[in-house]
Amino acid sequence: MTATQGTQVGPVKKLNEPQKLLNKTNIFIFDCDGVIWRGDSVIEGVPETLDYLRALGKRLFFVTNNSTKSRAQYAKKFESLGLNAEPEEIFSSSFAAAAYLEQTKFKETGKKVYVIGEVGIEDELKLVDIPFIGGEADKGKTPNMKKGGFLEHDHDVGAVVVGFDRNINYYKIQFAQLCINENEGCEFIATNTDAVTHLTDAQEWAGNGSMVGAIKGCTGQEPTVVGKPSPLMIDYIVEKYDVSRDEVCMVGDRLDTDVLFGKNNGLASLLVLSGVTTEEKLMSPENKIQPDFYTETIAKFLDSKAELN
């Protein structure tokens, strides 16, 4: 990229000429929370921007670390917000967890999965016919912690998948640690390790990193992370759709997941300030993760439409 493509502020360029990025990009991968919407509110200018990019012939994918919904459920959310998106354009970390287990031939082990998480993970596991327990079924359960009490875990669990869970409880944590610590070869899988998330548009909420941290703390194990910045989802897109990485731009609001996902996987990266990252944080000397460009929201791409008119 040439120095004329943006205004240099320190080592990071502000996206002042979006047309130049559009000219070299055929595929845009968008994070959802903080980029497309906040909570259940669409960010201003997003519907028009997505329609404009499609009209230009750009291929769009939506990659989210939120595991609470399946791809089909996310498609319904897009529709409810007046946004056009097909299920095959959506890659959630719940799908990534199921895809990882399928790729590693987990089903052939004859084992089952223990789920800390919500219905999104369950639905994706059902689609690839992988047996599981836990999840929604363990909501509200409490272990017997009186004298002599113990929790009997399932010795046939070969993997524990930890996703965002608004109903996480001590029973789930204890069951998961028993499986990981006592079942030989049991794999610890995290959909993501995001510190915070956007449950509402009013404030940030503790993210899946808090759930994963609880399991790390009681097992001493590091998880296999299948969501961003793991390469699993971009590898899947590149292989399935036969695309070149140099024509792809990752657009997100997080430095440590979205931008790192782009940089680690040979993609251009655009940071938007409509989510968790502020311009102050981006420009801080402590920040070591720098996107190719940054801008306020993806509606900046509409500037090129105005220029053409």
Residue 142 CA to residue 269 CA, distance in Å, equals 45
Residue 2 CA to residue 274 CA, distance in Å, equals 26
Decide which of 307 and 289 is more confident: 289
Residue 166 has pLDDT above 80, yes or no: yes
- The pLDDT tens digits of the residues spanning 77-110 come to 999 999 989 888 999 999 999 999 999 999 999 9
- The pLDDT tens digits of the residues spanning 24-81 come to 999 999 999 999 998 889 999 999 999 999 999 999 999 999 999 999 999 999 999 9
Q: Return the number of other C-beta atoms located less than 10 Å from residue 204's C-beta.
A: 14
> What pLDDT does residue 118 have?
97
Decide which of 196 and 124 is more confident: 124
Cis check for the bond before 229: say yes or no (omega within 30 of 0): yes
> What pLDDT does residue 218 have?
98
- The pLDDT tens digits of the residues spanning 267-287 come to 999 999 999 999 999 999 999
Residue 6 has pLDDT above 70, yes or no: no
31 is catalytic: yes
* SS3 (DSSP) at 218: helix
- Do the Cβ atoms of 250 and 259 come closer than 8 Å? yes
pLDDT class for 12, splitting at 50, 70, 90? confident
> What pLDDT does residue 307 have?
66
Confidence (pTM): 0.84
Q: What percent of the chain has pLDDT over 90?
A: 84
242 is catalytic: no
Active-site residue (options: 31, 138, 165, 253): 31
Residue 192 CA to residue 184 CA, distance in Å, equals 24
| Average confidence (pLDDT) over 114-143 | 97
- Please list, in sequence order, all residues whose beta carbon lies within 8 angstroms of the beta carbon of residue 116, skipping any fewer than 6 positions away: 134, 135, 160, 161, 162, 163, 165, 168, 172, 173, 176, 211, 215
Residue 207 CA to residue 185 CA, distance in Å, equals 27
> What pLDDT does residue 200 have?
81
| Average confidence (pLDDT) over 291-299 | 97
CA-CA distances (angstroms) from residue 214 to 116, 172, 221, 222?
11, 10, 11, 11
Degrees, nearest 5: CA angle 53-269-230? 110
> What pLDDT does residue 236 have?
87
- Please list, in sequence order, all residues whose beta carbon lies within 8 angstroms of the beta carbon of residue 156, skipping any fewer than 6 positions away: 110, 111, 112
Residue 40 CA to residue 58 CA, distance in Å, equals 26
| Average confidence (pLDDT) over 223-241 | 91
> What pLDDT does residue 240 have?
86
Average predicted confidence (pLDDT) for the chain: 93
> What pLDDT does residue 51 have?
96
